[in-house]
Copies of this chain bind each other. A is one copy, B any other.
Amino acid sequence: MAVKLTEKTAEQLYGIDGITLYTAQAGIKKPDQNDLTLIDIAAGSTVGAVFTTNRFCAAPVRVAKSHLFNEDGVRALIINTGNANAGTGEQGRQDALAVCAAAAGWAGCLPNQVLPFSTGVILEPLPADKIIAALPKMQPAFWDVAARAIMTTDTVPKAASREGKVGEKHTVRATGIAKGSGMIHPNMATMLAFIATDAKVSQPVLQLMTQEIADETFNTITVDGDTSTNDSFVIIATGKNSQSEIDNITDPRYAQLKELLCSLALELAQAIVRDGEGATKFITIEVQNAKTRDEARQAAYAVARSPLVKTAFFASDPNLGRLLAAIGYAGIADLDTGLVEMYLDDILVAEHGGRAASYTEAQGQAVMAKDEITVRIKLHRGQAAATVYTCDLSHGYVSINADYRS
């Protein structure tokens, strides 16, 4: 029951010159569904990537990090669902390397030019043999098919495209896919997201841009506050649109391209929240007039992570004291609660440390009945702001996570 999220058709997505996609059924967890995806990348492309900060990061994350900066360039991404290859120790690393070697043989590149990605259950050995056996069976696929092949508990495939001017004469295209629904509280990037563009960008500049975009998009969402072991966000720049390379962040095209990719990444990040496990509402928490951006984000996350706030949204109940309580425990030691203003959409709910005189329960109920709601909190301490996206906490969340492995 995703919140206002529909599957994109192939016609709504751009092909990206220099990228070929393949999918297959490896039978890792369930039969008769694609669970293996390979993204073949043309020579000369550059790749930027950011990964989870979870200390129990998965074996493929460790391997992908070590392969990312190899001097021959990245030529393929291999992605499986059904098993995260996390909490699998040294055997997990060997399995990830074996998958890279087999994918390299198939793609005609070196093993260290392959980045592996896995998502699914943690603490179970990766069935690398099934993946390797499935490689020869892969079929070419378009982005819509790949978006479906990387899903786990997702109910809607997540894909998006953008086209825009970068530089005076050139049109740049970008297409991305993402998966994620639970264990969503990114601290680098969330679960798996892959964006490809035909722009030409040097690797160090693309790496920086990837980090900046992750911080503004995937790092602003939370479903359940659980940071995954496998979060990975990758941007591929194939350079096929014949522009000169963007090799400097002061190049005006850097900002143009970043804006275009940021818009795409934000759509994918929000799609993950809209499809958050059990989600019935899409909630935007904006904190304004904070002293620092970190402080603003801290307050926004306190509200966004609170189970009491999330169940109130699920119930469509304007039990808004729960939001004030969350702001109060967000850890801003010298917060003057008398200055805090809180709005639900455009309705002023709280000010001067209490309920606004103008607020009525009927106003609150009207907003809470919607399936997209914005909470705006003004701290009146400075000029910084942050926005965080989340969903409600429903019976669906409990059911999905109590049943996930069965």
Contact = CB atoms under 8 A, between A and B. Distances in A.
A329 B395 contact: no
B56 A307 contact: no
A206 interface: no
A396 B60 CA distance: 37
A1 interface: no
Interface in A266-288: none
A226 B227 CA distance: 19
Interface string A69-90: 0000000000000001011111
B335 A55 contact: yes
Interface in A191-242: 224-229
A383 interface: no
Interface in A106-156: 121-125
A315 interface: yes
Nearest to A93: B353
Interface size class of A (residues with CB under 8 A): 35 or more
Interface in A325-370: 325-330, 332-333, 335, 337-338, 350, 352-355
B402 A325 contact: no
A256 interface: no
Contacts of A319: 121-122, 404-405
Contacts of A307: 224-226, 307, 393, 397, 401
A63 interface: no
User: SS class of chain A's interface: helix, strand, loop or mixed?
Assistant: loop
Contacts of A394: 398
B56 A327 contact: yes
A226 B402 contact: no
A182 B402 CA distance: 21
B306 A226 contact: yes
Q: How often does this chain occur in the complex, in copies?
A: 2
Contacts of A56: 324-325, 327-328, 337, 353
Nearest to A91: B354
Interface string A383-394: 000000000011
Contacts of A335: 55
Contact of A227 (B89, B329, B401): B329
Given A402-B311, A405-B319, A55 B337 contact: yes
Residue of A187, A227, A305, A330 with most partner-chain B CB within 10 A:
A227
B123 A314 contact: no
A312 B401 contact: yes
A373 interface: no
A13 interface: no
A382 interface: no
B404 A393 contact: no
Contacts of A90: 352-354
